[in-house]
Amino acid sequence: MFAYEALVRGQDGCGAGQVFEQVTDDNLYAFDQKCRKTAIEHASRLDLGETGSLLSINFLPNAVYDPKACIRLTLETAKKTGFPLSQIMFEFTEVERISVPHLLNILNTYRRLGFLTAIDDFGAGYAGLDLLSRFQPDVVKLDAELIREIDSSSVKQTIVRHVVSMLEQLGIIVVAEGIETEGEFSCLYDLGIDLMQGWLFAKPGFESLPGVLWPQALVKPDNSRSA
């Protein structure tokens, strides 16, 4: 398992959308900090640090007023729980309109502190290639809409093939998101994507580390790649 992504869910199991409806400008910072702290505490309690897998935490760039100040709680929580900083990856979605210079300051600060960084939902947002030309994260996660039914779309296959080639040349790890069918998996595998995320492999678990569902039909002969 390459990484586990910490997801936001309500106490009654409601989805992220209902939770974010309660987030305002006044509580945005507190919400972002609470999410980081809770993710690390749960990951430590579940011994994720012992597995060597990454803990992927989404952060809200607009909630970060000063990267060095806003990262203090994260550092304190990791130290208190004993969770390795080298196994924490911060990802942000480019669908939130943000100031690129502000975002670059955050990402460069996190990198200097030893955290891995990732762009989530790549190909669906505002920043795109302009941001990528200024900062090369450790990981880029291709947007699920680009992946959906890719096995039946030659246009999507052409786009993904060239995006993967570009990212590999930049030394960036590629993750495909939202895989739900064996057809999508096989197509992405043939396009050279090693890392995949989606309900085909595992569904989210509440305060748990779900095991990977790996049907025999998805095992490739050379076993050289894993999802």
The residues annotated with a catalytic role in the active site are: 177
Q: Is 15 left (phi over 0), alpha (psi -120 to 50) or beta?
A: beta
**Alpha carbon of 212 to those of 13, 111, 219: distances in Å?**
21, 30, 13
Please name the helix (run of DSSP H) or strand (run of DSSP E) that holds residue 119, with its range, or none: strand 116-122
Distances in whole angstroms, Cα of residue 183 to Cα of each of 94, 149, 151? 27, 8, 6
Q: Tell me the HSE value of 103 on the side-chain side, using a 13 A CA sphere.
A: 28
Nearest one of 31, 33, 39 to 3, comparing CA atoms: 39
Residue 195 β-bridge partners:
175
What are residue 92's DSSP bridge partners? Answer: 119
